[in-house]
Structures are given as structure tokens and as C-alpha cells.
Homo-oligomer: A and B are copies of this chain.
Amino acid sequence: MKFSKIPAATITRLSMYSRNLEELLAEDVKVISSEKLAERCGVNSAQIRKDVAYFGEFGVRGVGYYVRDLLFEIKKILGLNKEWNLALVGIGNLGSALIAHENFARQGYRFVAAFDNDPHKIGKKLLSGLLVDRIDDLKKVKARCNIEIGVISTPASKAQEVANRLIEADVRAMLNFAPIQIQVPKGFSVENVDFTVKLDNLAYHLTTEG
């Protein structure tokens, strides 16, 4: 079943709902009203009902949502009922920090390969136990490790070149930490991580409420 018309903002909210539902499950909460879930997620309850309605009828009138069922359905929709294999490209400060960051594994994202083009780094064993491969071996390593998503943590000047390598190797999704817009052909996806967008939100609050 295909839902490719769902807006990116909806996907991001579904992702946020799933994080909150996981926490509720860990707190042993069985049922939650759309109002309570909305409050927890910082959206309004009409929004939650609308987002969830894309996929069918999950709510029970007068009761709310069954936490476990809704979480299961959202994860199925997002494709999170499996683990995803990541490859990191660019083993600098940020790359090393990312590969060690506890959030990835916890959410089902697993680094299976790491690449660099610096001869001093190739063959080095990272804290996680991964060996650093040469970027020239991307296709070979991809075939062995089933790389599904490339994580780009090179300087901006190298990011497009790395993206081109990933495209050649048919790695169809990329998470880009370099401060540059990456161009990819149709059928490939890029998401950019820009920490400063969050800071803009804080700056706005400091400005209006300060």
C-alpha cells in the first residue's frame, strides 16, 4: 500500500507521536485520549485525529487510542517495524559523535559501515567496533552489509561528491549534516539536519517573551 501523497510535516508529526507513544508504553499507560496525547506532543487534538485518519480508524469513541495498537500502526506506516542499516561517511568530530550516539540504535537505526577518504583513518577501528572503509569500496561494502541510508558528515565542500558516490551505489536515502543543499535525482531522498533551525525557535521566544 502506498501513501506517498502524505505531506512531510505529517510524517514528522507521526514520528513524534510514535516517540511519545513509546514513552507511554514504557510508563504502562494502556489507553490515551487524543486530547491528552495532543497535549503531550504539543499539537492540538484535531490535528492528531486528522493525521491518524490518513490511515484508517484507530480511535475508539469515548475511550481514545489504545497505546500499543496505535504505536504499532504508526510504526508500520512509517516503515519502523524493521531495523534500518546506516553507513556513515566522514569520520571527523561530528561523525565520531554520531556513531556513538545512543539515540540511533534505540530508534532502530544501526550503523553497519563507516567510510572516509583519509588514509590515516582507513582501517581504524571505531569505538563501536566498526572498521573505517575507504569510500572507493562503497559498492562492495554496500553489497555485503545492505546499506540502506547514508549519513553524510563531511565538510560542506565534500558533501555533494559523497552524495554522488552514494547515488552511484544506489543508496536511495541520505541524512545530511553538512551545511549545504544536496542535489539528488528522482527516486532518491535527502533530509537535512540543521541545528540552527531549532535555535531560531528559541531566539523567537526570547525575543517575544524576554
Q: List the interface of chain A (C-beta within 8 A of B).
A: 2-4, 6, 8-9, 11-12, 14-16, 18-19, 23, 42, 77-80, 84, 86, 92-94, 96-98, 100-104, 106-107, 109, 148-149, 155-156, 172-175, 179, 181, 187, 189, 191-210
Q: Which residues of B contact A11 (CB under 8 A)?
A: 200-201, 204
Q: Across the two chains, which residue of chain B brings its CB closest to A81?
A: B207
A96 to B98, Cβ gap below 8 A? no
B203 to A79, Cβ gap below 8 A? yes
Q: Across the two chains, which residue of chain B brings its CB closest to A150?
A: B202
A15 shortest CB reach to chain B, Å: 4
A54 to B94, CA, bound (A): 37
A195 to B101, Cβ gap below 8 A? yes
Q: Which residues of B contact A86 (CB under 8 A)?
A: 199
Determine chain A's interface SS by DSSP, over half rule. helix
Do A202 and B196 contact each other (CB < 8 Å), given the known contacts A79-B207, A172-B210, A208-B3? no
Do A79 and B195 contact each other (CB < 8 Å), given the known contacts A11-B200, A94-B101? no
B200 to A104, Cβ gap below 8 A? no
B196 to A104, Cβ gap below 8 A? yes
A78 to B207, Cβ gap below 8 A? yes
A149 to B202, Cβ gap below 8 A? yes
A183 shortest CB reach to chain B, Å: 13
B199 to A107, Cβ gap below 8 A? yes
A189 to B16, CA, bound (A): 18
A98 to B179, Cβ gap below 8 A? no
Q: Which residues of B contact A19 (CB under 8 A)?
A: 194, 197
A15 contact from B174, B191, B197, Cβ within 8 A: B197
Most buried by B among A109, A179, A193, A205: A205
Q: Which residues of B contact A4 (CB under 8 A)?
A: 205, 208-209
Q: Across the two chains, which residue of chain B brings its CB closest to A77?
A: B204
A48 to B98, CA, bound (A): 34
